[in-house]
Amino acid sequence: MSLCTYFLVKWIAKRRGARKQKEGSTSKGTAAVSSLSWDMVGNEIEDEIGGIDSRLFSFKTIAAATDNFDNKNKLGRGGFGPVYKGSLLDGQDIAVKRLSKLSAQGAMEFKNEVELISKLQHRNLVKLLGCCICGEEKLLVYELMANKSLDAFLFDDTNRRKLDWNRRCNIIEGIARGLLYLHRDSRLKIIHRDLKASNVLLDDRFNPKISDFGMARMFGGDQNHETTKRVVGTIGYMSPEYAMEGQISEKSDVFSFGVLLLEIVSGKRNNKFLNDDEALNLLGYAWTLWKEKRVLELVDPSLGDSWPQMEVFKCIKIGLLCVQEYPVDRPTMSLVVKMLSSDTTLPAPKQAAFFGGRSPSFSISSMEYTDTSSTNGAAKTNTEIN
């Protein structure tokens, strides 16, 4: 009996010691990750995103905020899954991106987005409030944007009229400042790789905020470019050197910005052919009008006559400079911001890409394209080339 009692006491003491050690380890790990409050700490989260400065929500909290992901709260659906609006107990409105189990955005892209955006702070970047990993569920929680995404206005016949020239000009300048921050002014050097209208969110005053950093690439301090065998992005926005050769640089984002700028001016999508006879996309159409000195015909008719010709002409010219065939010919975002905000004399643009350029056999229609509806939390239209 004495021996049994001895071993029983030792066993109980050993279990208590193990429990205390585990609790101490968890507390220490949590404190190291963030000074913010955490709603849930579990093995899945520690494995996936341990050490990231972002708030972690419990699945129960997100489900309650969205009425258990009720369809009436659904803002839209992107290639990575549906996006819902919700409201936390403290009254804060949120947008929740719920990654589909069949989504192309796996654990690596999810972690990439949380890591990057949690470290970036700029008025023209969307604010990530936190995330949740629970079993197979992966959720991203953003601040709610009252006017959803840019494409919900720009490519809608009714909503487009709400974007007068002043608003469009403000959106163009805001996107440019956001990209400049990513490329030069943040402590990290970030190449977004998927800048497009559905990834630009608009607040209640139509101020733009760049979103969706799942495909973003972080560069080292002295790094200017790299080559990848995994090309991801959206057809119509990818630069030729990236789409065909996997070359990533700041100029990849500059090209995407140029496409987006021309879309904002014209109200037309680049990945829709505008002329069946000549198979022109928006870039080809804009370049044709430029050569024929009719480039102001590109302007969205819904603007009426309420736009300053010289200012619009300058924006179109900047857009064409950004979509030139070769990266070396394109301006940096710092120069783009300077050109937008001053009366600097601009050089004449050279040949626009994807229009009688380096690879005539390459066409947008030869690659898979899936159109998506706009969402608050960053709709996705991705093509991956292996």
Taking only the tens place, the pLDDT of each residue in 110-127 is 777 787 777 788 999 998
CA distance 201 to 291: 33
- What's the total number of domains in the chain? 2
Contact 65/87 with Cβ under 8 angstroms?
yes
- Rounded to an integer, the average pLDDT of 294-306 is 93
* Sign of CA pseudo-dihedral 43, 48, 52, 58: negative
277: which residues sit within 8 A by CB, 6+ positions away?
none
161 and 122 in a single domain? The answer is: no
282 and 354 in a single domain? The answer is: yes
Contact 117/128 with Cβ under 8 angstroms?
yes
Q: Which of 143, 172, 192 is the last residue of a domain?
A: 143
State which H helix or E strand residue 267 sits in. none
pLDDT by residue (tens digit) across 43-97? 443 444 444 556 789 999 999 999 999 999 998 776 577 889 999 999 999 999 8
> Within a domain: residue 9?
no
- Rounded to an integer, the average pLDDT of 361-368 is 33
pLDDT by residue (tens digit) across 82-121? 889 999 999 999 999 888 766 555 666 777 778 777 778 8
Work out the angle between the directed axes of helices 309-322 and 250-266 (0-180°, nearest 10).
140
> Within a domain: residue 1?
no
How much is the pLDDT for 179?
A: 97
* Structural domain of 39: 35-143
Q: Which of 47, 164, 194, 203 is catalytic?
A: 194
Reply yes or no on whether the pLDDT at 169 is more than 50.
yes
> Within a domain: residue 243?
yes
277 and 373 in a single domain? The answer is: yes
Please tell me the pTM assigned to this model. Answer: 0.77
163 and 131 in a single domain? The answer is: no
Q: Find the CATH number of the domain harbouring 139.
A: 3.30.200.20
**Is residue 194 flagged as an active site residue?**
yes
Of 126, 113, 176, the closest CA to residue 315 belongs to 176
How many DSSP H helices and E strands does the chain contain?
11, 14
